[in-house]
Structure 1
Amino acid sequence: MRRGWGMDPIVAAAGTALVSAMATDAWLQARTATVAMWRRIRPDHADGVGAELDVLRTQVLAARDADDEDTEQALAGAWRMHFQQFLADDPGLAAELRLLLDDHLGPVLSDTERTRVASVVMKAETHDNSRVYMSGRDQHITGA
């Protein structure tokens, strides 16, 4: 994991996908896979994670019912931080997180939710005060 450049893209995607999966009919399978991953990697925390996920699902469903995207994003942010710490402790666990995302969380999401989970990561550096232009789409630059 890169340090000092913000959140790892897999962390951002997994945290968002986990919270999005909570509002699906396939939540039980996604929950089971998430707890199983924790049981393999941090067995002493697996039961607590299961209980936390149950509480979190109730909060996500309430936020969706209230059309409260801010709360849902905050809950996803909390899980992104869990996953970020997970990788900070052991960067080699990125493969486990990718497997959870690709095999268990992503497939239960609707096309719209999968699009929400997708992310673009861009990075630019300059050491001589030159300009850097980055764009995820159209870019029009005028002037010198």
Structure 2
Amino acid sequence: MDPIVMAAGTALVSAMATNAWAEARDAVVALWRRVHPERAEQVGADLEAVRADVLEARRTGDDAAEEALAGTWRTELQRLVRADPSLAADVRRLLDERLAPALPREERTRIGKLVMKAEASGHARVYQAGRDQHITGQD
């Protein structure tokens, strides 16, 4: 699954427990309204129903339930991007401009983590960076 989609799904569900939820919900519904206008109202209703589940999961400390709800929305966002890969930029913008800013700092850090794996053999080299990378030497 696309890392941006994963982060957006997680941020969406986390935002449900914040005071900024209405703005985050409206931004998600606006994306659906633009892409699938016939589903936008249902998506809004679904988000409100899930919010109640998230609030209950947080109240009872049920991390597994919250993770399952995030997984559902990751899948929904992945379907959008799979059907139209150009929407990946819109999901990124949704994450960066609406969802992540709605979260407390510690949750923003959690959704921003990235796992990188690489394997090299022979004389191959692997260069990885979470931000800018400048390679100046050549052997």
Please tell me the TM-score bracket, short chain as reference. 0.7 to 0.9
Cα distance in 2, alignment partners of residues 81 and 119 from structure 1? 19
Amino acid at match of 2:65: T
- 2:99 equivalent in structure 1: 105
1:105 counterpart letter in structure 2: L
Give the whole-Å Cα distance in 1 for the aligned partners of 2:78 and 2:113.
16
Partner of 1:4: none
Q: How many pairs align?
A: 126
TM-score where L is the length of structure 1:
0.81
Cα RMSD between the aligned structures? 2.0
Q: Which amino acid in structure 2 is aligned with residue 57 of structure 1? A: R
Between the aligned partners of 1:121 and 1:90, the Cα distance in structure 2 is: 25
For 1:93, what is the secondary structure of its paired residue?
helix
Candidates 3, 16, 30, aligned match of 1:9: 3
> 2: CA distance between counterparts of 1:88 and 1:82?
10
Answer yes or no: is 1:27 the counterpart of 2:12: no
- How far, CA to CA, are the matches of 2:82 and 2:119 in structure 1? 23
CA shift at 1:126, angstroms? 6.0
Q: 2:43 aligns with which of 45, 49, 55?
A: 49
AA at the equivalent of 2:112: A
Structure 2 residue 81 is the aligned partner of structure 1 residue 87 = yes
One-letter code aligned to 2:107: E
1:115 is displaced (CA, Å) by 1.3
Cα distance in 2, alignment partners of residues 60 and 43 from structure 1: 26
Aligned partners of 1:9 and 1:119 also within 8 Å: no
Question: In structure 2, how many angstroms separate the alpha carbons of the residues matched to 1:45 and 1:124?
Answer: 40
Structure 2, unaligned runs of 5 or more: 129-139
| Residue 77 (structure 1) aligns with | 71
How much has 1:18 moved relative to structure 2?
0.1
The unaligned stretches of length 5 or more in structure 1 are 1-6, 135-144
